[in-house]
Structure 1
Amino acid sequence: MRPFSSALLPAFSPLAPQNRSLAWKTAAVVLGTLFLALSSYIEVPMVPVPMTMQTFAVTLVGALYGWRLGGLTIAAWLVEGALGLPVLSGGAAGFVHFIGPTGGYLFAFPVAGMVAGFLAERGWNGHRVALAFLAMFAGNALCLLLGAAWLSLMIGVGAAFTAGVLPFLIGAVLKSALAAAVLKGFSRNPKRAG
């Protein structure tokens, strides 16, 4: 049997976006982008990239919304930032952030959210908290790796790993654990989806 067989794993989509109207999905995208923007204001200043709660929000939106609506929501948030709304880290805005040191991390966000959503839909969710943690950590790790790959074009591979990955590993573990705990909370009451 395949490792992601839906017969073996409980279906999980606490917000059940596939069963919702277009109006509900539109409202979910708006609320999701607001949640992502708020997470951007919670930051610890670091050089060259600050540590924020963005990856916590990105992976959680992916897991709660599913990979499709989650990816769309995260992309909409990034478009808001590129168009000048103060929704990025610390209230930053503008396209310049997508071509500077933070560009790789920003472009990694939708992919990370979609990976977390994909895994959550296949049982790596609050019903199995250890797998939920691994799904959230996979999203966080993907952000760090893609972000550092972009950063390495500017400062070199070694410096990018030292400045863009190592300082954020503990935060990635903690944010992954927090997101897994939130998913566990959603999995306790399946009626929330309806």
Structure 2
Amino acid sequence: MSKASAEALKPVYSPLDLHSRPVAWRVGAVILGTLFLAASSYIEVPMVPVPVNMQTFAVTLIGALYGWRLGAVTVTAWLVEAALGMPVLSGGAAGAHHFVGPTAGYLFAFPLAAAIVDWLAEKGWNGNRPALAFAGMLAGNAACLAFGAAWLAVLIGAEQAIIHGVTPFLVGAVLKSALGAAVLALLARKTRAA
């Protein structure tokens, strides 16, 4: 790979600067990220067929902080842990059957949501511009809802998918996006002060 190609692949915005850290740091970041995702899964409001939890907050925050490659690796590692039976999904759920059930569309959307948020963060929708960071986080949440509802529609029909798989999550998506933007703004402020 040429130097120009390598420079083109480097993230423009990377508050944690993980891409320039040693491999051990990046492995540690992936482990911490999967633990953060698992912990966010336990903060839930049980609902049928899809529970409300803090997973999208964690996914979008990891996307914004880790960069698209490491963010995708982290979210995918967490999904692999779930498929292998580790209790890392909502409320401690685990198992490959979740990847074909009502939550499958949301789960498969998580790496995409992280990538969307990072791409937008690299374009300036980050903690240096909190309103744009909020919009970027909201875009990641919207991707999850769109993919999740599309899969849910296959199982229970489009109208029921909107009623049960989108509408109950709209307020939470706005609140989690605001919280994510606030965290990014705080980190940006600390970075500028350092």
Deviation at 1:19, TM superposition (A): 1.0
Deviation at 1:192, TM superposition (A): 9.2
1:81-96 alignment, distance < 5 Å? 81-96=82-97
Deviation at 1:130, TM superposition (A): 0.5
The aligned residue for residue 160 of structure 1 is 161
1:25-104 alignment, distance < 5 Å? 25-104=26-105
Q: Which has the higher contact order (CA 8 A, sep 6+)?
A: 1
The aligned residue for residue 140 of structure 1 is 141
Distance 2:63 2:139 in 1: 12
Query: Could you tell which deviates more after superposition, 113-122 or 177-186?
Result: 113-122
Residues 105 and 147 of structure 1 are in contact (CA less than 8 Å); yes or no, is this contact kept in structure 2?
A: yes
Greater per-residue helix proportion? 2
Distance 1:80 1:125 in 2: 29
For the aligned residue pairs, the C-alpha RMSD in angstroms reads: 1.3
Residues 14 and 192 of structure 1 are in contact (CA less than 8 Å); yes or no, is this contact kept in structure 2?
A: no
The percentage of counterpart residues that share the same residue type is 66
The aligned residue for residue 189 of structure 1 is 190
Distance 2:193 2:17 in 1: 9
Counterpart residue identity of residue 186, structure 1: L
Question: 5+ unaligned residues in a row in structure 1: which ranges?
Answer: 1-10
* Cα distance change of structure 1 residues 25 and 151 upon mapping to structure 2, 3 Å threshold: same
Residues 159-185 of structure 1: per-residue CA shift (max 9 Å, x gap): 101110011000000000000000001
Counterpart residue identity of residue 58, structure 2: A
Distance 2:119 2:19 in 1: 14
In the superposition, the TM-score normalised over structure 2's length comes to: 0.92
Residues 186 and 192 of structure 1 are in contact (CA less than 8 Å); yes or no, is this contact kept in structure 2?
A: no
The aligned residue for residue 5 of structure 2 is none
Deviation at 1:67, TM superposition (A): 1.1
Distance 2:191 2:185 in 1: 11
